Structure 1
Amino acid sequence: MNALWLWCGLGLVLLCVEMLVGTLYFLWLGIAALVMAVLCALFAEMPLALQALNYAVLAAIALAVMRKLEKRKPALRVGQAQGEEIGRQGVVIVAISPANPGRIRFSQGLLGSREWVAYADTAIAEQQLARVVAVEGNSLRVAPLS
């Protein structure tokens, strides 16, 4: 029964460390330790070496599951375009040509600014409406609104 409480204690300590650190690694290690406690309750005569081996395998499996789940969610790109600005319409305030960039103004701010340097594959005159096609670094690629 000592091994059961050892694994329970270790699991709870690892979960407490996870609450302090917040990396998710200790969460999975703590869960593996708690699963090991359940295994010790079911198989009371398990030798200490086999317990350690089982814990190592459980911890490796738990971390592999965490890594797989972590790769599924898209990375949060703070301060970068996420795609919602594509299609937004603005008014060209400085004429744009394929050779020279111009400027475009939006009625509502786009990514924190109302005016942007804009590039286009075709010429767009001043006061003409244009829509955003792509965000390219600190500028926008636009196309005339037809």
Structure 2
Amino acid sequence: MDAWIVWLIAAGIILVLEMFTLTFYMLWFCIGALVAALVAWIAPDAYLLQVVAGSIVTLVLTIFTKPISKKVRSSKGFQDTGTELVGRQGVVVDPIEPGQYGIVKVGSDTWSAVSTQLLAKDERVRVISRSSTIIEVERWEEFT
């Protein structure tokens, strides 16, 4: 298999992983892999050049976008969409056992969720925290 195909497959896998994390850091690795694929297509035998080109692009994107994202996040009026979830009510779609993932619907969105309690389907819950793609919930009745 040609090296450029391997780089494209790697870029695709990294892009799918980025979709799960929503952090934009994996996106830079995806773009670096795409650059490496381009170099591999132009110079198929220059393996070191492929790795170096992809690494440099990834590093440059990471270094230059971090201050920009920090500035945007600290700007007046910026609110992370996830912070509004904390305290909201949701409904368990897929039962949650302690230490296991389940699914909770909050508003019109569904989230992977964890809890320290056993929560049955259709039980009302309250969001107590959020990580990148997972929310932690507790039984709603404890807080009403």
TM-score range, shorter chain: 0.3 to 0.5
TM-score (norm 2): 0.47
**Normalising by the residue count of structure 1, what TM-score does the alignment of the two structures yield?**
0.47
Return the structure number with greater helix share: 2
The structure that has the greater radius of gyration is 1
Higher share of residues assigned strand: 1
